[in-house]
Every structure is written in structure tokens, then in C-alpha cells.
């Protein structure tokens, strides 16, 4: 479904691509692939129209599973395995109504069922696990298709595309931005400051309430409307490394008209634990010298969230960027 701000997004290079029924080799695949790659090269983001989150699953996720999780007692939520990019983030002084959890690692061992058993011992909430698992399975299809389209669209061969996809982990993250009186009073609230994701790709699903904004090259902010059949696929910093800078990590933020609670879900890919990410050979040549040194993902996460990188506006560049005069 095209929306009023599509023209504005398109003017800045962001495309909306309908992937319903589009499979490798099928009619429309090459055209869709070119549009996905062009949008990614322009601003590190693309809007994807899909059929992976129908009304029933959306209702089960945002009407039940996500509210049930956030309604758990704070100590139960905080008990989830934690680390710089995993686990539960509770309300903080500068973000008093924000909560988020990234815990449902879907491709590495026990995944969602283990977490569900921890939150609701004795299997008292099987529907939660079923909903999150189905959501993850459906979003995995979008992640893999878009991930392949980006690299193929940049001219990367099948073998490298497959080994890139094999090098990733996938997890579910859900966030709640509680109703804010301050935002309601002013009619506007900045819910999450501008940032780049420390991922390969983040699939962002907005529910009902708008808020996601992408930064254009001229610094202006482009609102992405929450539409039931559309997700925003956003390039994270590690995709910039893999593509040797051809795809920039998208700068984005969340702002929303105040008052209403906002829920969102993300399905993100990150390098597997212990993996070192490097620019793909096919994207490095005499005209495109490597822009990044090999990036040890665990080391980068530590640098960015715990170490000196916390204070930097571009921690990736400081951690593994090839200095301009090297
Ligand atoms: O809630 C959203 O729409 C996006 C949130 C986001 O950008 C993030 O959690 O990194
Ligand atoms: Fe983000």
C-alpha cells in the first residue's frame, strides 16, 4: 500500500518493494533485487511489503504476547540473561517509559522455548512461545531474502552470499514506549535518540503508532508510517563492513506524537558469536580499497557498549575503520 510520504521517501532514495510471491528466479525477482540494492546503497534502508505478519499473528504478538511479557514483575524481566546487547533494558532516568528485551535467540540452541519456560515456569504460557516462534520463523524468511538480494544486487556471487547468511545469528527484540505525559503535553516526544544499529540487518515492525524516522543525507528526518503489511529493513553497522561501505548503516530514531503507548518488534541478524566480519572479497578491488579492517564482533560489542566506544559518535570507524591516510 503506497502512503502519502512514499514520494518523499523515494526522493531520498528509499524504495518500497513488494516481495509477496517474489522468489529467486520468479517473475519480478531481478527488478525487486535491483530496487532493494539501490535503496540500501542510497540510505541503508528499504521498505518491504510482505505477507509474513497477517492479522491473526499481529494480534497474537502485539495484542497478547508483548503486553504479557511487559506486564511481568520487574525482577522476572530483569532475570533474563543479559549482556551489552542481550536481555532486558528497564526504564532509565532519561527514558522513563522505555522498556525493551532482546532475548529470543532463534538460531542458537534452545531459543524462545527456554526463555518462555524461565519466564513462566511449568509451561504456563505456551501461546507466548508459539507466537514468538512463528513471528521469528516468518521474519527469518524476510531477513534471508533481503540479505541475499542486497549482496546479489551488488554483484556478489552465490557462494559468498550463502556463506555470509550462514555466518549470522537471528533474534527477536520487542520494545515498549509507555504513554508519556510530557510528550502528551507538548504533542510530541523524542522516544529514542538517533543511532545506528549494531546489527547486520534489523527488520523493524511498528504496531499502530508511528514513530520510526530515517535520516536522509541532507540531515532531514523521514517518517516511516506504520502499515500492517510493511516492514522497514534497516542496515546495521556490520553490513557496512561486509559490503565495504557500499551500504551505509542507516541513522534512525524514534519520535512520536505523545500520549499513546507504542509497541514495536524487531527481528535482527548479527554475526555469530566469535565471528570476525570482513569486507567481502568481491567488493574490494583497486578502485574500492578496503574501508574496514577485520572486525571481531564480540570485541566490537564490548568496545561500543562497555568500553571507550560508548562516548564516540562513530564507534565503528574508531574500532575498525581504515584510517583515511593509511
Ligand atoms: O521502535 C522502533 O521502531 C525502532 C527502535 C530502534 O531503532 C532500536 O531499538 O534500535
Ligand atoms: Fe535502531
In the block, residue with C-alpha cell 534452545 = 110
Ligand 1 centroid – CA 325 distance (Å) = 35
- Domain 6-281, CATH number (from 3.90.1150.10, 3.40.50.300, 2.60.120.330, 3.40.920.10): 2.60.120.330
- Dump pLDDT digits (tens) for 151-180: 999 999 999 999 999 999 999 999 999 987
Which helix (H) or strand (E) element contains residue 99? strand 98-105
- Dump pLDDT digits (tens) for 189-233: 778 889 999 999 999 999 999 999 999 999 999 999 999 999 999
- Dump pLDDT digits (tens) for 297-309: 999 999 999 999 9
**Ligand index nearest the alpha carbon of residue 207:** 1
Ligand 1 centroid – CA 131 distance (Å) = 20
Q: Name the residue among 241, 188, 195, 230 with its Cα closest to residue 214.
A: 195
How sure is the predictor about 3, in pLDDT bands with cuts at 50, 70 and 90?
A: low
**Rounded-to-integer distance, Cα 274 and Cα 204, Å:** 25
* Residues framing ligand 1 (Cβ under 6 A): 175, 192, 197, 204, 206, 211-212, 252, 254, 264
**Ligand index nearest the alpha carbon of residue 192:** 1
Amino acid at each position: 500500500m503506497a502512503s502519502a510520504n512514499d514520494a518523499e521517501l523515494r526522493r531520498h532514495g528509499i524504495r518500497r518493494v513488494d516481495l509477496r510471491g517474489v522468489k529467486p528466479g520468479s517473475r519480478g525477482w531481478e527488478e525487486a533485487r535491483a530496487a532493494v540494492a539501490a535503496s540500501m546503497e542510497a540510505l541503508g534502508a528499504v521498505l518491504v511489503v510482505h505477507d509474513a505478519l497477517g492479522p491473526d499473528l499481529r494480534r497474537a504478538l502485539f495484542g497478547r504476547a508483548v503486553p504479557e511479557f511487559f506486564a511481568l514483575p520487574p525482577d522476572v524481566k530483569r532475570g533474563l540473561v543479559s549482556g551489552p546487547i542481550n536481555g532486558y533494558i528497564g526504564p532509565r532516568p532519561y527514558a522513563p517509559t522505555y522498556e525493551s528485551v532482546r532475548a529470543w535467540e532463534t538460531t542458537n540452541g534452545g531459543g524462545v522455548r527456554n526463555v518462555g519456560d524461565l519466564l513462566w515456569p511449568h509451561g504456563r504460557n505456551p501461546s507466548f512461545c508459539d507466537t514468538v516462534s512463528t513471528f521469528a520463523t516468518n521474519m527469518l524468511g524476510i531477513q534471508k531474502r533481503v540479505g541475499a538480494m542486497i549482496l546479489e544486487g551488488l554483484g556478489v556471487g552465490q557462494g559468498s552470499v550463502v556463506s555470509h547468511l550462514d555466518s549470522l545469528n537471528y533474534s527477536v527484540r520487542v520494545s515498549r514506549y509507555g504513554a508519556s505525559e510530557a510528550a502528551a503535553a507538548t504533542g510530541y516526544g523524542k522516544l529514542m535518540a538517533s543511532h545506528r544499529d549494531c546489527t547486520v540487518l534489523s527488520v523493524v515492525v511498528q504496531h499502530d503508532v508511528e514513530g520510526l524516522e530515517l535520516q536522509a543525507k541532507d540531515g532531514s528526518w523521514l517518517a516511516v508510517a506504520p502499515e500492517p503489511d510493511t516492514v522497514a529493513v534497516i542496515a546495521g553497522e556490520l553490513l557496512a563492513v561486509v559490503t565495504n561501505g557500499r551500504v551505509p548503516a542507516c541513522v534512525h530514531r524514534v519520535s512520536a506524537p505523545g500520549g499513546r503507548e507504542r509497541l514495536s518488534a524487531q527481528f535482527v541478524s548479527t554475526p555469530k558469536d566469535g565471528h570476525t566480519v570482513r569486507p567481502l572479497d568481491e567488493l574490494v578491488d583497486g578502485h574500492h580499497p578496503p574501508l574496514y579492517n577485520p572486525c571481531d564482533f564480540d570485541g566490537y560489542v564490548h568496545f561500543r557498549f562497555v568500553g571507550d566506544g560508548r562516548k564516540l559518535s562513530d564507534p565503528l570507524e574508531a574500532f575498525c575503520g581504515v584510517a583515511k591516510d593509511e
